Amino acid sequence: MTTSTAKGQAFRDLHATSRTGGAFVIPNPWDVGTARLLAHLGFRALATTSMGFAFSRGRRDTAVGRDEMIAHVEVIAGATGLPVSADLEDGYADSPAMVAETIRLAARAGAVGGSIEDATGDDTHPIRDIGPAVERVTAAAEAAHSLPFPFMLTGRAENYLHGRPDLPDTIRRLQAYQEAGADVLYAPGLTTPEEIAEVVRSVDRPVNVLMGLRGAELTLAELSAVGVARISVGSALYRAALGAFLAGAEEIRDRGTFTFASAAVAPAVVDPVFDD
């Protein structure tokens, strides 16, 4: 059994057992160190964060191109023995054929899952029309399911992240992505248990929910109770770390004090994790 086959089967099994055992959390590291720390803490799968990675490189979100992102996926996939799902944004292409190629490249880099979203990156028309969006998910699913190992494709409906809190349209899109072959469905930006439960009831694929947004403060137990399969946190861990960094730097600049260091992790905590 190849490494990708073992990881892919383990990832698929996590989604299957969530139906009876409750949701699992798939946190989002942004480099080797954070990936290894999350593995050490006992998480069973990881997902990349396009925003967290872009910010860590001093770039705006969506400013990282496909080649650089695929190289990053390879780094994260090789950092631990855990399955990794790749945040592939819009597939880094308009055409379905190129979106399919992005899936193949992510798989070659070691990912055993990946997401394709329906956002356009154009503020004047932020969400793709449903026809082209479905064509892209169809092509991605065909590429994913032709791989020689299990690969979980996530279809993302981005309405809520782009100021379009239209639940009926979001559900219609997720249902269409399900029919197009997506293995997991995801509408980032949902915050209420009622909306989330309605999405779960409306589809027959595992549903991923994003926590770590303002207003999205449901617990693992609450999300499991409404049938959520998987919980990710996107860039929230990176932004939390950045928040602590900025608070410390501002304390130094504005007050000339260094009390921030009292909350810093001790080297003795981290060293053993990185001791090969």
| CATH for 26 | 3.20.20.60
Q: What is the pLDDT of residues 74-122, one digit of tens each?
A: 999 999 999 999 999 999 999 999 999 999 999 999 999 999 999 999 9
What's the Cα-to-Cα distance from 151 to each of 9, 100, 124, 144, rounded to whole Å? 8, 13, 33, 6
Dihedral angle at the C-alpha atoms of 226, 20, 155, 3, nearest 10 degrees? 150
Beta strand 207-210 with 152-156 is unpaired
The amino acid that residue 241 corresponds to is A
pLDDT at 276 over 80: no
At residue 153, φ and ψ (nearest 5 deg) are -90, 130
| pLDDT at residue 240, rounded to an integer | 97
Q: What confidence score (pLDDT) does residue 103 get?
A: 99
User: pLDDT tens-digit profile of 161-208?
Assistant: 999 999 999 999 999 999 999 999 999 999 999 999 999 999 999 999
Write the pLDDT tens digit of every residue in 112-129: 999 999 999 999 999 999
- The arithmetic mean of pLDDT across residues 238-250, rounded, is 98
Q: Is residue 134 part of a domain?
A: yes
Any domain includes 253? no
Per-residue tokens: 134: 């479905």
82-96, 204-218, 236-250: range with lowest mean pLDDT: 204-218
- CA-based nearest residue to 110, from 137, 135, 141, 73: 73
CB of 65 within 8 A of CB of 108?
no
**What is residue 207's DSSP assignment?**
E
- Whether residue 95 lies inside any domain: the answer is yes
pLDDT at 216 over 90: no
Does 24 map to a domain? yes
Residue 148 neighbours by CB under 8 Å, 6+ apart: 2, 4, 5
Confidence of residue 215 (pLDDT cuts 50, 70, 90): confident
Task: Give mean pLDDT, residues 5-16.
Answer: 98
- The model's confidence at residue 19, banded by pLDDT at 50, 70 and 90, is confident
What amino acid occupies position 24?
A: F
- Residue 214 pLDDT > 90: no
Cβ neighbours of 77 (radius 10 Å) = 25
Q: Which residue has the tokens 């791989």?
A: 147
Res 275 pLDDT > 90: no
- Per-residue pLDDT tens over the stretch 196-208: 999 999 999 999 9
**Is 252 part of a structural domain of the chain?**
no
Which residues neighbour 34 within 8 Å (Cβ) at sequence distance 6 or greater?
237
Closest by Cα among 178, 160, 156 to 86: 156
* Tokens standing for residue 149: 């190992």
The single residue listed with the structure tokens 């193949």 is 104
Domain with 209 in it: 3-234
Q: How confident is the model at residue 50 (pLDDT cuts 50, 70, 90)?
A: very high
Is 255 part of any domain?
A: no
Please enumerate in sequence order all residues whose Cβ is within 8 A of that of 210, keeping only pairs 6 or more positions apart, or say none: 186, 188, 189, 190, 216, 231, 232, 233, 234
How would you classify residue 184: left for phi > 0, otherwise alpha for psi between -120 and 50, otherwise beta? beta
Asked if residue 144 is part of any domain, the answer here is yes
In a domain, 114, yes or no: yes
Average pLDDT of the segment spanning 58-83: 97
Pair 66, 105: CB distance under 8 Å: yes
- Strand arrangement, sheet containing 207-210: 24-26, 230-232, 207-210, 184-186, 152-156, 113-117, 84-87, 46-47
- Number of domain units in the chain: 1
